[in-house]
Amino acid sequence: MKLFRTGVIATFVLAAALSTAAPASAKGGGDVRASGKCSAGSTWKMKATPDDGRIEVELEVDSNRVGQVWSVALGDNGHRIFTGSRRTVAPSGSFELELRSANRAGADRFTATARTASGEICSARVTL
């Protein structure tokens, strides 16, 4: 009976160790999402997803105004990975930016800033 109890306890200990070790060792097993409001009422959404050894990053800004031009900068752990402009399109009055970045050592912290000529600013960030 004592041997049976020891075996049962060892099985539970092993199962607990495996269930807690798997998520800790799997860097970014899924995507990370965040969203928020910009300085003048527009909204932003940002997502980072592991993709074949790289990280796919998506940024969407929705101002509900078609044809609005935004200056956009996107960084990964302080490394600039995109600088350019995007124009909102019909029917939603939003733009999307999608790109892939290197999977750097440790956590990848993505930051984005989008600005209009009229002064609205969106600041987005996610960490994978």
Question: Residue 113 falls within a domain, yes or no?
Answer: yes
- pTM of structure: 0.76
Residue range 36-56, pLDDT digits in tens: 999 999 999 999 999 999 999
* Res 29: pLDDT: 62
Question: Residue 23 falls within a domain, yes or no?
Answer: no
Q: Is residue 12 scored above 80 in pLDDT?
A: no
> Percent of the chain at pLDDT above 70?
77
The CATH number of the domain holding residue 113 is: 2.60.40.10
Q: Is residue 27 scored above 90 in pLDDT?
A: no
Question: Residue 14 falls within a domain, yes or no?
Answer: no
Question: Residue 5 falls within a domain, yes or no?
Answer: no
**Weakest-pLDDT range from 4-8, 29-33, 48-52:** 4-8
Question: Residue 1 falls within a domain, yes or no?
Answer: no
Question: Residue 3 falls within a domain, yes or no?
Answer: no
* Structural domain total, the chain: 1
Q: What does the mean pLDDT of the chain come to? A: 82
Question: Residue 77 falls within a domain, yes or no?
Answer: yes
Residue range 58-98, pLDDT digits in tens: 999 999 999 999 999 999 998 999 999 999 999 999 999 99
- Long-range contacts from 32-38, C-beta under 8 angstroms, 24+ separation: 32/126, 32/127, 32/128, 33/126, 34/124, 34/125, 34/126, 36/122, 36/123, 36/124, 38/63, 38/114, 38/120, 38/121, 38/122, 38/123
